[in-house]
Amino acid sequence: MNRAPRVLYLAFFFPPSRASGVFRPLATANFLADAGWEVTVHAGPLEYFTDFLGSVDPSMLTRIDPRIRVLRPQLRLPGTVDDIRDYNIVRAHLPTVWNKARAVLAARGFPEQYRSWIPNVLRTALRDHLRRPYDLVVATGNPFAAFAAAWAFGTMTRTPYVLDYRDAWTFHQFLEEVRYPPGHSAWRWERRTLAGAAEIEFVNQALLDWHARRYPQSAARMTVVPNGFDPADVPAITAPPAPDAPLRFVYLGTVTETMPIEELMTAWRRLRRQPGFEDATFTIYGHLGFRPWSVDPLLARISDGVDGVRYAGPVAKAAVADVYRDADVLVLWLPGGRYVTSGKVFEYMATGLPIVSVHHPEIAASDVLAGYPAWTRTATLEPADIMAALRDSGRAARAMTDPQRQAAREHAMQYSRAAILGPWEQRMRRIAGV
């Protein structure tokens, strides 16, 4: 081939969205562009993030490789129409009937509120394809309208497509239960999209295993592509905390309703009564929830301003390195169980700092941390066990040597973007035949 291979990347959540799922498609699109691909991203419309969700980080826009073309096909969600004068007659006068009808249509048709994005993606992508054909489609979910669009485009054009499960579709990985009853159209759509995919990717082995059991006919094409980190974003911490300085515990990430908040706050208060921890601080960086109305209830739960706890607010990606430089121990504070992998764990490891896990002991992130020489985990989510883990990690921070820090960073390097995406990009070339 004497031209750059062309990839259509369907990633609804893309900068400037501040959703946690943005980092994986952003890094992947940038990697493909750097590897010589001509990358076109179809993302969600800007006004959805700015006006409806109110959830943006403008600094993330500067991280998009300038060689990437970003298009934003429109969608129309019922919840985004605020003026009743814009409602159709049924919705305006019979809202109960309207809502029931929507539920029935969702159960029979494509069962996702983002479905209006699909025809607009296809219209734009097919127009491009007729001018200059795409060699490959990569779709990341959620939303899973991206999967349906990839399947439809692949069916119409015979272009191979790859599905990337950033989250699960029909399985609730936090509650560990299925999302839909038998016979729901979601099962049919998932089976259909998986059947045609050239590769099906998951962020951890537990999610792959669940889907392989559910869809054995597609299991041979399933693989794990972990989240990773960009070494340039993470400083290598070399100096241990000063012997007479208060220990600084730091959490960086979104605080959500399902995290063990009260358990950690209780454990923290107990830790501050331990010798050597009376002046320890716990600083929380990041957003409170994913919606504006989540902020006040979550703020009330995190004991801001009490016993050394401080909520410092969201941090632009460009300032993350400074957060790590001001930490002695990183708190990996997560919801969910064995199917949950945090993208933040890879970045945490790259610092070489001690990490204390405050999450379900069997969480998938534990598989990544196994072998990290500066990891302390709680035995259970009881406050007494969390307090013991916090105490042990603080002591480890004071005792950590330079060789131990170096060993910790070396463990992390197996999860660098280059280590993960290099082999992946070669597979994409084989799938695309370029």
Per-residue pLDDT tens for 345-390? Answer: 999 999 999 999 999 888 888 889 999 999 999 999 999 999 999 9
CA–CA distance, 61 with 29 (Å, rounded to integer): 13
Lowest mean pLDDT among 15-19, 89-93, 278-282, 395-399: 89-93
Please state, in angstroms and as integers, the Cα–Cα distance from residue 125 to each residue in 41, 54, 55, 225, 433, following that order: 10, 28, 27, 26, 20
- Structure confidence at residue 105 as a pLDDT band (50, 70, 90): very low
Q: What's the distance, CA 30 to chain centroid?
A: 17
Domain 231-415: state its class: alpha beta
Other CB atoms closer than 10 Å to residue 79's CB: what's the count? Answer: 7
Q: Is the dihedral of CA 12, 17, 19, 22 positive or negative?
A: positive
Is residue 312 within 8 A of residue 249, CB to CB? The reply is no
Residues 6+ apart with CB under 8 A from 151: 161, 192, 193, 196, 197
User: Is pLDDT above 90 for 106?
Assistant: no
Per-residue pLDDT tens over the stretch 34-89? 999 999 999 999 999 998 888 888 888 999 999 999 999 999 865 555 555 545 45
Per-residue pLDDT tens over the stretch 171-207? 998 889 999 999 999 999 999 999 999 999 999 999 9
Domain with CATH 3.40.50.2000 in the chain: 6-228+417-432, 231-415
Per-residue pLDDT tens over the stretch 397-422? 999 998 999 999 999 999 999 999 99
CA–CA distance, 232 with 432 (Å, rounded to integer): 30
Per-residue pLDDT tens over the stretch 312-332? 999 887 788 899 999 999 999
Strands 38-42 and 6-10: parallel
Per-residue pLDDT tens over the stretch 107-147? 457 899 999 999 999 999 999 999 999 999 999 999 999 99
The distance in angstroms from the start CA to the end CA of the chain is 6
Above pLDDT 90, what percent of the chain?
A: 72
Above pLDDT 70, what percent of the chain?
A: 92
* Protein fold of 6-228+417-432: Rossmann fold (3.40.50)
